[in-house]
């Protein structure tokens, strides 16, 4: 009887195409939304990704996200280094600064101060520039941080540092090595543009050595944001985090745990989570509407065939199996098409700079949602068939 059900399905090409389209659209939209969600969650802990060699992150006890951090006293660095099992500990400082461009335009930047000795945390710099240049006085590395057009400086030298006021509406180009910026009225020289992990939310970045940061940024009693600790041989990251937390009273998390903390914080506090949920709800609603209506109409138009099968003694179980088989075949084909289209669209989204990342679980999530839509649509469509069976039994009596 499954063969008969599929012959009925393929016989009406218009309805079959409509069913496949509805399910493919649902699969595409759900998988794309889930992949977009995974992408901006990944960008949410981009700083942790850039510092992948750190085993344990030490921070103020109140910190639960890499982007919502407060500073600690400098003594925390030596306290962490003194804990048994710590092979090395390096400082990392985060801040914000208003940066003035040569034409008078200003732009908020996130400032990332790295250890002067190791320069740990500086992403690769374009054109083969060495990060060791950051050890020179008043030098910085800039990064777009997922933004577009935020690193524009005047292309014409006559528009740079003008004496007759800002030259805002002038031709511009991207920053490059040798350009000047003003950070808190301190002149700094750009030694390169890095290729770091894009941020979420997007924001331009400045990397500089901590020695330069203390001289350029406004004075603060507490400048240290994180201590990045690496474990000695035969000491696991989990064990080291436990030792540091017990010995110092600061919060110590492994890189994997801190990433999970950041994701949880974003789930609770980010407004974009609601946008993704709305997109998923819209996708499921549209998919259920198209699939349910098309499958219901298809079933209604084939009630005569189901009536003949019922008169021949076909049981309700077999009739249900036929309807669900039709929905299952459409779901299988539509899901494959939708995920394939999502992969193609994802490549275009990545090239355009959008936070798209198709993780292993996003196609599974899309398939599960399609399964739910298809099962519900098939269950609603099967009601006329079951009523037909009940009517036949009543007439026979």
Among the ranges given (35-39, 328-332, 391-395), the one the predictor scored with the smallest mean pLDDT: 391-395
Find out whether the peptide bond into 201 is cis, omega within 30 degrees of 0.
Answer: yes
Give the tens place of pLDDT for each residue, 331-346.
Answer: 899 899 999 999 999 9
Are 369 and 26 contacting, i.e. CB atoms less than 8 angstroms apart?
Answer: yes
Look up the pTM and report it.
0.81
Average confidence score pLDDT of the chain: 87
pLDDT above 70 (res 396) = no
pLDDT category at 394 given cuts 50, 70, 90 is very low
pLDDT (average), residues 45-60: 92
Percentage above 70 pLDDT, the chain: 97
By C-alpha distance, which of 258, 234, 233, 264 is closest to 245? 258
Q: What is the pLDDT of residue 397?
A: 43
pLDDT (average), residues 145-169: 89
- Extended strands (E) in 115-266: 139-143, 152-154, 172-174, 180-183, 186-193, 205-209, 226-231, 251-254
- Around 69, how many Cα atoms within 13 Å sit in the side-chain half-sphere? 29
**Residue of higher predicted confidence among 141 and 31:** 141
Among the ranges given (62-71, 147-156, 274-283, 331-340), the one the predictor scored with the smallest mean pLDDT: 274-283
């Amino acid at each position: 009887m499954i063969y008969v059900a599929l012959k009925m399905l393929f016989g009406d090409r218009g309805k079959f195409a409509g069913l496949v389209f509805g399910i493919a659209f649902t699969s595409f939209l759900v998988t794309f939304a889930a992949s977009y969600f995974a992408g901006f969650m990944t960008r949410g802990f981009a700083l942790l990704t850039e510092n992948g060699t750190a085993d344990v992150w030490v921070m103020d006890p109140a910190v639960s996200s890499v982007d919502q951090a407060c500073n600690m006293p400098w003594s925390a660095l030596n306290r962490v280094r003194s804990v048994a099992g710590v092979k090395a500990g390096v400082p990392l400082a985060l801040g914000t600064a208003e940066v003035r461009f040569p034409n008078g335009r200003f732009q908020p930047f996130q400032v990332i101060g790295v250890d002067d000795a190791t320069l740990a945390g500086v992403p690769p710099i374009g054109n083969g520039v060495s990060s060791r240049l950051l050890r020179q006085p008043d030098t910085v590395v800039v990064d777009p941080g997922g933004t577009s057009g935020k690193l524009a400086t005047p292309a014409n030298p006559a528009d740079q540092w003008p004496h007759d006021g800002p030259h805002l509406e002038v031709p511009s180009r991207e920053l490059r090595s040798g350009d000047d910026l003003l950070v808190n009225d301190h002149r700094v020289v750009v030694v390169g543009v890095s290729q770091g992990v894009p941020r979420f939310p997007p924001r331009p970045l400045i990397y500089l050595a901590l020695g330069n940061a203390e001289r350029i940024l406004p004075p603060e009693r507490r400048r240290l944001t994180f201590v990045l600790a690496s474990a000695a041989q035969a000491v696991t990251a989990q064990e080291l985090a436990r030792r540091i937390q017990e010995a110092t009273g600061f919060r110590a998390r492994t890189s994997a745990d801190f990433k999970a903390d950041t994701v949880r914080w974003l789930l609770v506090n980010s407004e974009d989570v609601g946008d993704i949920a709305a997109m998923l709800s819209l996708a499921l609603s549209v998919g259920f509407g198209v699939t349910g209506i098309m499958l219901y109409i298809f079933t209604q138009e084939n009630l005569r065939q189901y009536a003949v099968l019922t008169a021949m003694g076909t049981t309700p179980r077999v009739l249900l199996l036929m309807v669900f088989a039709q929905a299952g075949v459409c779901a299988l084909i539509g899901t494959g098409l939708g995920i394939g289209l999502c992969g193609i669209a994802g490549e275009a989204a990545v090239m355009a700079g959008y936070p798209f990342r198709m993780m292993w679980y996003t196609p599974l999530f899309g398939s599960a949602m399609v399964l739910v839509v298809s099962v519900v649509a098939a269950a609603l469509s099967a009601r006329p068939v079951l009523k037909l069976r009940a009517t036949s039994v009543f007439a026979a009596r």
